[in-house]
């Protein structure tokens, strides 16, 4: 039961990541690409924890926490770059 | 009891994964940047929260740690989408032709007067 739910969830996550990748490859401008990267990071946070459930280990929890923090900071930095043209003033 | 929790958790997990896939579909299908932002951030936030809630039901020992990630996501996702939307607006991207109102442009026009 849990295994079937996990397999379905992995399929859905792969589909969502493929859609995000499509938007990164031919997004018309850089704001769309930043948005697709941000969405990808959110997907990967949950995907890592699902993988931890599958393997029965809690190591991936820390990894996904780090990915969440780095993803947030990088999205804000990209947006600042779009806004100002440089990140560090 | 544990079997019931497993079943509810599995259902939540499947629902969250479906939300994430549909959010990705919205990212591909929506007409302009702002509608894509609302598909790509709101739907995926809900999907991730549902998935993490399902996992917390399946593995009750992880619930506190997962609550930390949920809290972090609930703080940062709206922030990053707002920053991104304002950057896109400031970069001068044009909205889709059927857009009716642009409150930020109205505000800035009023501030400039």
Residue B6 has which token pair? 């497993």
pLDDT tens, residue by residue, A38-60: 999 999 998 999 898 888 888 88
Query: With 0-12 CB in 10 A as exposed, 13-18 as middle and 19+ as buried, what is B24?
Result: buried
Contact residues on chain B for A58, CB-CB shorter than 8 A? 62, 65
Name the one residue in this structure whose structure tokens are 């941000």.
Answer: A38
pLDDT tens, residue by residue, B25-50: 988 888 888 888 888 888 889 999 99
Q: What is the pTM of this model?
A: 0.86
Question: Nearest Cβ partner of B91 from A58, A76, A82?
Answer: A82
In this prediction, does ipTM exceed 0.90? no
Q: What is A2-84's CATH number? A: 1.10.287
Q: Cβ–Cβ of A76/B83 closer than 8 Å?
A: yes
Please give the pLDDT value at position A70. 92
Average pLDDT over all residues of chain B:
86
Please give the pLDDT value at position B6. 86
Average pLDDT over all residues of chain A:
87
Q: Tell me which residues of chain B, numbers 25 to 54, contact chain A at a CB-CB cutoff of 8 Å.
A: 25, 27-28, 33, 36-37, 40-41, 44-45, 47-48, 51-52
CA dist B56 → A18, B6, B12, B23, B80 (Å): 27, 10, 10, 23, 26
Cα B38 to Cα B82: distance, rounded to the nearest angstrom: 10
């Amino acid at each position: 039961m849990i295994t079937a739910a996990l397999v379905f969830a992995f399929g859905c996550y792969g589909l969502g990541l493929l859609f995000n990748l499509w938007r990164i490859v031919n997004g018309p401008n850089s704001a769309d690409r930043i948005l697709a990267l941000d969405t990808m990071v959110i997907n990967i946070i949950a995907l890592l924890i699902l993988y931890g459930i599958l393997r029965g280990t809690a190591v991936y929890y820390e990894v996904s926490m780090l990915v969440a923090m780095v993803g947030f900071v990088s999205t804000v930095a990209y947006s600042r770059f779009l806004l100002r043209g440089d990140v560090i003033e | 009891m544990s079997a019931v929790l497993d079943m509810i958790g599995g259902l939540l997990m499947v629902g969250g994964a479906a939300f994430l896939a549909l959010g990705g579909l919205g990212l591909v299908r929506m007409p302009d940047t702002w509608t894509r932002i609302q598909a790509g951030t709101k739907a995926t936030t809900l999907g991730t929260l549902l998935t993490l809630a399902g996992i917390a039901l399946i593995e009750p020992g992880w619930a506190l740690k997962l609550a930390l990630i949920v809290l972090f996501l609930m703080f940062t996702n709206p922030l990053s989408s707002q920053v991104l939307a304002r950057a896109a607006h400031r970069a001068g991207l044009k909205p889709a032709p059927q857009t009716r109102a642009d409150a930020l442009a109205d505000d800035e026009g009023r501030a400039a007067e």
